[in-house]
C-alpha cells in the first residue's frame, strides 16, 4: 500500500484540476503509478507528464535506446514499478532479452552489444557516480549525436524523478509482473 493517498479517479481531484488528469490520461491511455502520487500536486503532475510525453513519444532517441535507458534507471534505483512497467514496452520496441536479463541480474555490460553498452554505461554512471567519464561520454555521443546525448541525459533524469516518486511513496507493481531482484 502506498505511503500517501493516491489519486486513482478523476473525481478524486477538485474540478479545477481535472485538466491535469485529462492530459495525463490522454497521452498515456490511463493514469497509474507515479502519476497517482504526483497528482497530489496537480500542476507538478501536469508539467512532469508534459516532459515525460516528449521524452517517451517525441524524442529523437530510438525506442530501443530509450527503453534501455529507462530500464537502466529502474535497475540503478531499484524501482520495481518502473521496471515492471517498462519491460513489456522494451520487448515490444525490440530490446533484446539478453540485454534485459543483463540489466535485471546486474551483469551489464556483460551480455550487451557495444551500442547497448554505450547507453547503459552512460545512464549507470550518471546515476551512480553522478558524472560520465570521457570514454563513456564519447561512446554515447558518437552513437547518438549531440542532441541524442542531451535527450539521453534528460531521459535518465526524468525517469529518475519517476523512480524516486515510486520508491518514496512505495508504489508497487501489480503481482505477476516481471520481477526486479533487489
Q: Which CATH architecture is the domain 63-168 placed in?
A: Up-down Bundle (1.20)
**Looking at the whole model, is its pTM more than 0.85?**
yes
Q: Please spell the DSSP secondary structure of 37-80, one letter per residue.
A: HHTTSHHHHHHHHHHHHIIIII-SS-HHHHHHHHHHHHHHTT-H
The CA distances from residue 90 to 84, 85, 166, in Å, are 10, 9, 19
Q: Is the pLDDT of residue 28 over 90?
A: no
Backbone region of residue 176 per phi and psi (left: phi > 0; alpha: psi in -120 to 50; beta: other values): left
Domain spans in the chain, listed from the N-terminal domain onward = 15-58, 63-168
Give the pLDDT score at 167.
98
Query: Considering the chain, what is the average pLDDT of its residues?
Result: 95
Amino acid at each position: 500500500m502506498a505511503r500517501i493517498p493516491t489519486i486513482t479517479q478523476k473525481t478524486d481531484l477538485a474540478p479545477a484540476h481535472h485538466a491535469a488528469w485529462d492530459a495525463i490520461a490522454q497521452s498515456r491511455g490511463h493514469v497509474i503509478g507515479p502519476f497517482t502520487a504526483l497528482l497530489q500536486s496537480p500542476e507538478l503532475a501536469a508539467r512532469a507528464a508534459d516532459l515525460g510525453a516528449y521524452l517517451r513519444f517525441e524524442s529523437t532517441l530510438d525506442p530501443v535506446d530509450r527503453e534501455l535507458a529507462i530500464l537502466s534507471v529502474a535497475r540503478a534505483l531499484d524501482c520495481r514499478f518502473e521496471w515492471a512497467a517498462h519491460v513489456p514496452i522494451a520487448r515490444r520496441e525490440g530490446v533484446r532479452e539478453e540485454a534485459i536479463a543483463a540489466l535485471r541480474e546486474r551483469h551489464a555490460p556483460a551480455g550487451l552489444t557495444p551500442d547497448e553498452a554505450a547507453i547503459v554505461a552512460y545512464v549507470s554512471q550518471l546515476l551512480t557516480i553522478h558524472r560520465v567519464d570521457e570514454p563513456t561520454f564519447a561512446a554515447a555521443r558518437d552513437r547518438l549525436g549531440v542532441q541524442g546525448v542531451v535527450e539521453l541525459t534528460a531521459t535518465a533524469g526524468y525517469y529518475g524523478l519517476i523512480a524516486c516518486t515510486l520508491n518514496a511513496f512505495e508504489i508497487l507493481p501489480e503481482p505477476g509482473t516481471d520481477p526486479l531482484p533487489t
